[in-house]
């Protein structure tokens, strides 16, 4: 069985040479990038907005304990219930208890990366509970038995024809290339699920400390339906999503939508502050918020890497990353892909198993330049590499190659004494062990060293 790094290398090579995949992903990402550029023109001073957002997120993360307790105090005052989960197992255990109390058989679920992170759908399926993804992109990949391809656009890797084929195969509809008909088909099937489901599950884009609210932003209205029709609403949110005040949303909501899709604002923006109140006409009878750690405090305790928790999950770094655009989202085999995924996954899911992701980058800095909260992503990738090496998680071939190189640098006489052919052989072996030579021409050492040429010049 291949190790995760070896599997990643093999899958990356297959995707990089898959011309049809490259055509689809570049077409779809190209549309988003064009829309984002248009959206940025609405800002008078986009850089100032990024600076303010970076400051507010740093403030929230550096005082995370205070703001989370403030959120819990205000949310519970309005009848909500907060569940603190250190890991996926604790989160699933508590969710399972809620399902059992409600005798739940059907769950409608809005798009949420945290639910993907804890593998909620498979957990519910094992307990005989039907879990329906109501976001169209999530619904499509769920039908096809796949994980989301992209943080924002789960089905970005699929063409219209691919989606039509999935609907024909799994839903039994007549073949069609009419996108509107495909959307209406999904809508008809999903509408009845909202009214029969016992529990609705969402994520949360932001936790608002001063009002005890969960802010959810979406374009389809499915999250509102998932949170309103069922009698029980569960929001599963990472602890890093907290922001200090309700009025901070006037900064974060436009930054999130513009950086992700180029919109000035997403279509539906809702703040949930608890279950239905006495004078309210709709909403759930009970609302729970699961505050998920699941490795986030591993980043929090490292001041030099803590800024990775500032991420607002806009997906902008994925859209500009040359590596992501060539190897695709599924190759990462993690919940979070692209540059931000390569930064946080080793800390959320284990450095030893996921350290290879931080090496899957050209370090071009494009991700850093587009991040709406100014996370220094390419620098964090370097820090992850440094941590992987210092903790001894590098391959033995790499350690041997670096050891030979280090010896040669410290003992120059060894290189000077060796003939040119011998040097080239050693260099070829060293570079071959770390994968350099597989798709590159062999390097050749000059017949004479700089020292030798300098001596000749002085003579």
What's the CATH number where 79 sits? Answer: 3.40.50.10420
- For position 150, what pLDDT does the model report? 95
Q: Which of 238, 260, 294 is the last residue of a domain?
A: 294
Q: Which of 244, 278, 294 is the last residue of a domain?
A: 294
Start-end of H helices in 42-83:
46-62, 64-77
- The reply to whether the predicted model has a pTM over 0.85 is yes
Residue 103 gets the label, from left (phi > 0), alpha (psi -120 to 50) or beta, of left
DSSP-derived 3-state class of residue 130: strand
pLDDT digits (tens, 9 = 90+) for 283-293: 999 999 999 99
The owner of tokens 């994980």 is 147
For residues 282 and 416, state if they share a domain.
Answer: no
Evaluate whether residue 373 is within a structural domain: no
How many angstroms separate the Cα of 172 from the Cα of each of 134, 175, 273, 342?
19, 9, 41, 38
Evaluate whether residue 146 is within a structural domain: yes
- Domain holding 128, by residue range, is 42-294
For residues 127 and 252, state if they share a domain.
Answer: yes
Evaluate whether residue 278 is within a structural domain: yes
Evaluate whether residue 213 is within a structural domain: yes
Evaluate whether residue 132 is within a structural domain: yes
Residue 15 has which token pair? 């995707």
For residues 282 and 411, state if they share a domain.
Answer: no
Element (H, E) at 165: helix 160-171
Whether residue 245 contacts residue 208, with contact meaning beta carbons closer than 8 Å, is answered with: yes
Q: Going from the first residue of the chain to its last (459 residues), give the mean pLDDT of each consecutive group of 10, the final group possibly shorter.
A: 86 93 92 93 96 98 98 98 98 98 96 96 96 96 95 94 94 90 92 94 98 97 95 98 98 97 96 94 95 96 96 96 95 96 95 93 95 97 95 84 80 74 73 70 77 85
Q: Which of 294, 315, 339 is the last residue of a domain?
A: 294
Residue 47 has which token pair? 């850089």
DSSP string for 279-317 = T-SSS-SEEEEEEE-TTHHHHHT-TTTGGGGG-----HH
Task: Tell me how many domains the chain contains.
Answer: 2
Of 157, 117, 113, which is closest to residue 135 (Cα–Cα)?
A: 113
- Order of strands, sheet of 232-238, starting from the edge strand that comes earlier in the sequence: 81-85, 286-292, 232-238, 199-202, 106-109, 130-133
Whether residue 59 contacts residue 186, with contact meaning beta carbons closer than 8 Å, is answered with: no
For residues 288 and 400, state if they share a domain.
Answer: no
CA distance 402 to 420: 20
The owner of tokens 């099937």 is 189
pLDDT digits (tens, 9 = 90+) for 83-133: 999 999 999 999 999 999 999 999 999 999 999 999 999 999 999 999 999
Evaluate whether residue 56 is within a structural domain: yes
DSSP-derived 3-state class of residue 370: helix
Evaluate whether residue 194 is within a structural domain: yes
pLDDT digits (tens, 9 = 90+) for 360-418: 999 999 999 999 999 999 999 999 999 999 999 988 877 887 887 788 778 877 777 77
For residues 410 and 281, state if they share a domain.
Answer: no
CA distance 388 to 28: 34
Evaluate whether residue 245 is within a structural domain: yes
End-to-end CA, the chain: 60
- For position 455, what pLDDT does the model report? 87
For residues 289 and 420, state if they share a domain.
Answer: no
């Amino acid at each position: 069985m291949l190790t995760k790094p070896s599997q990643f290398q093999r899958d990356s090579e297959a995707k990089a040479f898959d011309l049809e995949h490259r055509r689809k992903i570049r077409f779809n990402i190209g549309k988003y990038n064009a829309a984002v550029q248009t959206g940025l023109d609405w800002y008078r001073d986009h850089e100032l907005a990024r600076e303010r957002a970076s400051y507010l997120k740093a403030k929230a993360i550096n005082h995370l304990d205070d703001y989370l307790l403030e959120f819990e105090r205000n949310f519970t005052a309005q009848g909500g219930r907060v569940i603190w989960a250190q890991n996926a197992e604790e989160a699933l255990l508590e969710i399972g208890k809620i399902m059992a109390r409600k005798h739940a058989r059907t769950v409608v679920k809005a798009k949420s990366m945290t639910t993907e992170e804890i593998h909620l759908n498979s957990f519910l399926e094992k307990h005989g509970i039907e879990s329906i993804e109501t976001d169209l992109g999530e619904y499509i990949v769920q039908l096809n038995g796949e994980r989301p391809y992209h943080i924002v656009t789960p089905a970005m890797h699929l063409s219209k024809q691919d989606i039509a084929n999935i609907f024909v195969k799994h839903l039994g509809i007549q073949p069609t290339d009419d996108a509107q008909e495909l959307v209406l088909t999904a809508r008809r099937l999903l509408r009845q699920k909202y009214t029969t489901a016992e529990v609705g599950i969402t994520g949360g884009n932001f936790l608002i400390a001063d009002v005890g609210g969960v802010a959810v932003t979406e374009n389809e209205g499915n999250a509102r339906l998932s949170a309103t029709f069922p009698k029980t609403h569960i929001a599963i949110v990472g602890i890093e999503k907290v922001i200090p005040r309700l009025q901070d949303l006037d900064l974060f909501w436009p930054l999130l939508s513009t950086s992700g899709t180029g919109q000035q604002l997403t279509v539906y923006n809702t703040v949930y502050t608890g279950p239905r109140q006495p004078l309210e006409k709709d909403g759930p009878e009970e609302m729970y918020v699961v505050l998920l750690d699941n490795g986030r405090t591993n980043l929090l305790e490292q001041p030099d890497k803590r800024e990775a928790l500032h991420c607002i999950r806009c997906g902008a770094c994925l859209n500009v990353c040359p590596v992501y655009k060539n190897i695709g989202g599924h190759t990462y085999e993690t919940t979070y892909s692209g540059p931000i995924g390569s930064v946080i996954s080793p800390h959320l899911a284990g450095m030893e198993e996921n350290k290879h992701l931080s090496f899957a980058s050209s370090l071009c800095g494009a991700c850093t330049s587009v991040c709406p909260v100014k996370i220094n992503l390419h620098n964090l990738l370097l820090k992850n590499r440094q941590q992987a090496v210092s903790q001894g998680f590098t391959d033995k071939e790499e350690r041997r190659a670096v050891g030979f190189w280090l010896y040669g640098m410290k003992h120059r006489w060894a290189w000077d004494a060796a003939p040119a052919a011998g040097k080239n052989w050693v260099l070829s072996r060293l570079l071959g062990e770390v994968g350099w030579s597989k798709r590159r021409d062999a390097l050749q050492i000059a017949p004479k060293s700089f020292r030798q040429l300098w001596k000749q010049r002085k003579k």
